Structures are given as C-alpha cells and as structure tokens.
Amino acid sequence: MAVYIALLIMAGGLAVIATAKSLVRAIIGAEVMTLGAIYASAAARDINMLAVAASAGVFETVLLVATLFKMARRGYV
Amino acid sequence: MEVLLLLLFPLLVGVILLTRDNIYASLLLSALGVAVAFGAYIHLGELAFILTALVYIVASLTLVVVAAATLKESATTTQWRWAAVGGLLILAAAALATQTAVEPPLKQTVDFALIPLISALFIFALKMAFEITL
C-alpha cells in the first residue's frame, strides 16, 4: 500500500511538471516528486534515508531557483 | 490511517494541477508537505514529521516569494490537466484495492555523521547557486 502511495505522489509530480506553463510550476512539480521519495523512505522505515532525501530536496530547490533567477535576469523567463 | 492519506494526496495534487496561480500552488505544496510529513510520522515517529514539515514549509515559502517575484498572467488551461487528474484518480483507486497492515512507528536514531556530510553538500550547492546567479 505504501508503495502505491509513493508512486501516486511521484505520478502527481510528473503530471504537475508535464502540465507546467511556467518554470515555477515545474519547480513545484520537482518538489512533489521529491516528496514521493521522502514518503518512500518513511515507508521503508529508515530515518537516515529520509534525512538524505529531504536534504536532496533542499539542494534541488536551491539550484533550480538559482537557475530560474539567472534565466529571469537574462530575459528568458 | 494510510487510506486517509491515499485520498488526501490526489486531492491536493489535483488542486495543484487545476490551479493557474503559482502562489496558490506553492501554498498547496506546503500543505502537501505537511500531509507527507504526517505519513512519515505514521511510519517513523515525531522526528520524521518535524524534518519533512520543516523542509517543505521553508521550500514552499521560498517558492511563494519566487512566484510573487515572477508574476505573469498565464494562458488558457490545457486539456492535459484533466487527463493528469484522471490518471491520478485511477492510480488511487488501484491502490485502494490492495490493503496491507501498518505496524506501529519505529523509533530510530539519526546517524549524526550525516550532519557534517549534508552541511558540506549544502555549502557546495549554495556555492554553485551563487555562481549560477552571478
């Protein structure tokens, strides 16, 4: 059951990315997919893996937002 | 208990898919983060809840700021959204058909060697982010 919930969240994240009209919506979709990974690590009952997945989500957000700002500065957004 | 989450997740993701406003979508992301944090609490206890909820509330509030800074009008809704929402509901229905028992939450100690490693990676990511934006 937990496997399906993790897959469901990941499918939701993919759907948000696929229907994204702006880059901010694509970043939100990437965050939702990372939430799926966090739930999967919680269902696997490994808190260290959960900490690693959460921190990977943070790094990903930082880098994606930085890229978004760079593109906005160059005028591509 | 997991059945409640199974109904809540497609609902929240479906509303994210159907909304046009990015600020509203970012706030829904923080709600989704708290919902997944509750799911993590079921399996792993309070520390998992705090960790996930903290990370996701901070990340989605950052995205609210970013979305507010890049305000644009969006175009008409695409047909894709309804297909995506429908696909999610089908997955949720398929998962409802299989039920397993959930054991009580496991207490685990966090490996403290992770903290310097994750901090080093975070500083590296921040350095990269500065180099990208400047």
Contact criterion met (CB < 8 Å) for B98 and A1: yes
A53 neighbors A41 (Cβ within 8 angstroms): yes
Question: Is the minimum CB–CB distance between B81 and chain A shorter than 8 Å?
Answer: yes
Q: How far apart are CA B134 and CA B131, in angstroms?
A: 5
Asked if pLDDT for residue A60 goes beyond 70, the answer is: yes
Q: What percent of chain A has pLDDT over 70?
A: 99
Q: Which residue has the higher pLDDT, B91 or A42?
A: A42
Q: Could you give the C-alpha distances from B53 to A30, A32, B123, in angstroms and in order?
A: 17, 13, 22
* pLDDT confidence bin for A30, thresholds 50/70/90: very high
* pLDDT confidence bin for B91, thresholds 50/70/90: low
Asked if pLDDT for residue B68 goes beyond 70, the answer is: yes
Could you say which of A4, A13, A31 has the minimum Cβ distance to residue B98? A4
Asked if pLDDT for residue B76 goes beyond 50, the answer is: no
Helix axes B46-69, A23-43, angle to 10 degrees: 180
B118 φ/ψ angles, rounded to the nearest 5 degrees:
-65, -35
Q: Could you give the C-alpha distances from B55 to A4, A6, A38, B48, B119, in angstroms and in order?
A: 23, 18, 11, 11, 14
A27 φ/ψ angles, rounded to the nearest 5 degrees:
-65, -40
B73 by Cβ neighbours in 10 Å (0-12 / 13-18 / 19+) ranks as exposed
Could you say which of B10, B43, B108 has the minimum Cβ distance to residue A43? B43
pLDDT, mean of residues B35-58: 85
Which range among A27-31, B71-75, B85-89, B121-125 shows the weakest confidence by mean pLDDT?
B71-75
Asked if pLDDT for residue A5 goes beyond 80, the answer is: yes
Query: Residue B105: CB partners within 8 Å, gap ≥ 6?
Result: B41, B42, B43, B44, B45
| pTM higher than the cut 0.90 | no
Q: What is the pLDDT of residue B78?
A: 47
pLDDT, mean of residues A3-24: 87
Å between A76 CA and nearest CA of chain B: 12
Could you say which of A18, A35, A42 has the minimum Cβ distance to residue B84? A18
Q: What is the pLDDT of residue A33?
A: 92
Q: What is the pLDDT of residue A31?
A: 92
